[in-house]
Structure 1
Amino acid sequence: MSNIIRVVAAVFCRDNKVLACRKAPGTSLAGYWEFPGGKIESGETPEQALAREITEELSITAHVGKKITTTTYEYSFATIELTTYYCDITQGSPQLSDHDETRWVTADQARELMWAPADIPAVELVVQSL
């Protein structure tokens, strides 16, 4: 197993839909859908890292809420330990930087998207609650 990279991701829900973000061309996992987030930096708690990453990636402020799950997935480039949290947007509207599209999707629509493998366990848990 390669070095483990600890990452966090935000699950935003509203009106029985979840926010899905598609990775832009030229980025790692381009074309795959994911929950937005990123790496935990040294000295950060997962919650602090997620709040920072959401501001950097989507130009919004978010409140980090309840943990959903932690999963580990071994990609060809790294092993990712992904922890997902329910979050609420407290300020702003998502702006794209690392992604080329965002969508608010229903549970059925979410099941049809090509999700990044590390995100799939969280997707399955989230769509059950929509």
Structure 2
Amino acid sequence: PVVKNEVTERLQKFITGDEMNGSEPKLIIQKVLYMSDLKQDQNRLDLPLKKLETEDFLTIEEKLALENEYEIEVRLVGPTLKMYKEPMRLVIQNVTNTRKLVLKTNWYRFVEDNKEHLKELSKI
């Protein structure tokens, strides 16, 4: 399912328009950022799988790679609707009966480069 509001509509136009010439988004979520999401020593963004209504945004190959503890390189569109220059790594982590997708590697750099938009309790 795709969340629909003004922000996600702009994002969808960016993805499918001339800027990226991409396909229809498979999943757009909104998440409130907490202090732990913004800390340098954490350098990651957790996305609990049980809060995602679908995993259909991943291909079969991507799901298999993640299940086999491989990392997938992904790109992020920042809050100013520009593709972020540094790739991230997406992994699945199993922590205390909770499975979650985790964006890592360059997450804190992304936060620092977008700090005027990414603050505690911000929605992304």
TM-score for the superposition, normalised by structure 1: 0.29
TM-score for the superposition, normalised by structure 2: 0.30
Bigger radius of gyration among the two: 2
Higher relative CO (CA 8 A, sep ≥ 6), structure 1 or 2?
A: 1
Relative to its length, the structure with more strand (as a share) is 1
